Chains A and B, each alone.
Chain A
Amino acid sequence: MSCIETIQAYALRSIGLGERLLPRGDYTLCEHFTLIGSGMIWNVYFAVMALLLGFFFANVLALGKAAQSAWLRKPSEWFIFLFRGSPLFIQFFFAYFLFLRLKSVSPMFDGLTAAGLGALIVLFLNTAAYSAEIFYGALRSIPKGDVEAADAYGITGFRRFRRIIWPTMLRLAWPAYTNEAIFLFHATTLVFFSAFPVHQQKGDSLYYASYFADKTFNPFVPYPILAMYFILFTLVIVWLFGMVNKRLNRHLPQAQRPRVRYRPNLLR
């Protein structure tokens, strides 16, 4: 099979389109690249969906944690502690078994045990907790003068939040949030290595990489390919978030704009 044919057969293998049987025997480099790249679809799907949804929830949580009323503050604090204080790996296991239990209660919950939905929920809650802590930190470091100036102009209530506090919070939090995005993207590889089963060998990039490594007993080809893909996508994230950062700080003179530093935190 030529490389073009391989790409046609396997480029969408991870979502179940194309050739059903995985290649066997002598694996070519082309097959490595195509299948691992195909698996990236899952990683991108998880990362994009979790980040988009998590962003909104994180804002709510951060505001809750910064709230005066204990009724709002305590639940947010506990939620953030629960998800930041425990390993994501254990959270995946826990959620999967919880979903299994729910499934036996009512057929309504059937979809939850599939990785596409169940793992996404876990990643969404997890990134919401981590991002909320970042946003909360930013909320607390908003310059006092900005808020006072808003008060002096008679901007109050929701309008003050919408036009002064929230944009400043985003501006302050954005470099850290970029790292959180990278970090979450890397964490998506955990999904199929925890409890969530791989259906008909439709796995993510790490699943295929370890598949090759298991079959050929040679880790020196598939893992560097995987690393290359991840470094590539990480650069894309840095670029995208850098654009947003530029827009957030468009009022500042060029030299004063904070640069996003690539500093992915650590694993969770």
Chain B
Amino acid sequence: MFSYCTDPSTLEGLTWLSCYLTTGKHLSFYASFVTVLVLLAITAPTALLFGFGGATAARSRIAPLRWFGKGYTAIVRGVPDIAFFLFFVIALDQAFEYLRHKVKCPDWEEPIRQGNDFIVCQAAKLPLSTAPQWVHETYGFLLAVLTFAIVFGAFAANVLYGAMNAVPHAQMETAEAYGMSHRQAFWRIMVPQMWVYALPGLSNLWMVLIKATPLLFLLGVEDIVYWARELGGTVNPRFTDYPHGDWRLYYFTFLLIFYLGFTRVSEIVLERLMKKLTHGQATTGGEAQRKAAA
């Protein structure tokens, strides 16, 4: 990175450290923090969407849809999340390949499951074996995002379901008295009002989502945990210009501090948001604000 880094063996102290911390691998390490942030940025809205779908399904007047919505939240919440992560990554991959197989190779004779193998035709492979490396990585990342969205969607569904029920029933009755249809009352009365009730639950969910991001490592994405293990391990002078002992403890201390800081900042931001949203609301929080101002 710097011009004086050409011969690291002559360097010492801070200059050595400055060279060490800017090697190519370390830059990948820093980039993996961006991966985590991107994951959060994509997953949070997707999970919210899944959650909204789940909550609406659980309230549906059509019985099978209602069972689906309730079953979705109940099962995901009753089983360890990590089991779901491990399950969905393979299951989704196989489901996609199976669908493509059915479409692209309709005249394929052999069964797909042969003993312990899962075999689809070449054209149905995802990503194609000829695809460049970045396609493989992006595909892996997208599978991870979808998995996160499914699992956290169930949590969000539960929060939103509670929030929908918390909207005073009289509001809905009034809407119907004014001649709104079921659909109109839902979109115009319930959905705008439910957010205040949902926010505490959703902010809790956000914290949990932050703390779930290291699980990306288990899904095979090269995330911060992967790089911390990789970079922290003992390196032999034969393979690197920057030999050092087992530094994984220091790398993980750094990750620990990163997460603590991230949680703290989120806490402060969410608290401000909550203050803003409760302003003028007919809840105890809003009432307390009004009294404090008066």
Contacts and interface: CB of A to CB of B under 8 A. Distances in A.
Interface of A: 26, 81-82, 85-91, 93-94, 97-98, 100-101, 186-187, 189-190, 193, 206, 209-210, 213, 215-220, 223, 226-227, 230-231, 234, 264-268
Interface residues of B, number: 45
Contacts of B255: 90, 93-94
A87 B79 contact: no
Which interface residue of A87, A91, A100, A227 has the most chain B CB atoms within 10 A? A87
A209 B115 CA distance: 18
B104 interface: no
Contact of A206 (B82, B113, B232, B248): B82
Given A91-B256, A101-B246, A206-B86, 4 more contacts: A86-B211, A86-B260, A186-B79, A213-B87
6 contacts: A186-B81, A193-B82, A193-B218, A217-B116, A230-B79, A267-B208
Interface of A is mostly: helix
Contacts of B217: 89
B212 to A, nearest CB: 6
A219 B77 contact: no
Contact of A218 (B80, B118, B225): B118
B157 to A, nearest CB: 13
Contact of B78 (A85, A100, A264): A264
List 8 tightest A-B contacts by C-beta distance, closest first: A186-B80, A266-B208, A223-B87, A87-B211, A85-B263, A97-B249, A219-B90, A227-B79
Contact of B225 (A82, A88, A90, A190): A90
Given A90-B225, A220-B91, A227-B83, A97 B248 contact: yes
A230 B256 contact: no
B155 interface: yes
Contacts of B82: 189-190, 193, 206, 267
Given A86-B260, A213-B90, A219-B90, A231 B78 contact: yes
A257 B200 CA distance: 26
A217 B260 contact: no
B18 interface: no
A251 to B, nearest CB: 29
A268 B118 contact: no
B256 A210 contact: no
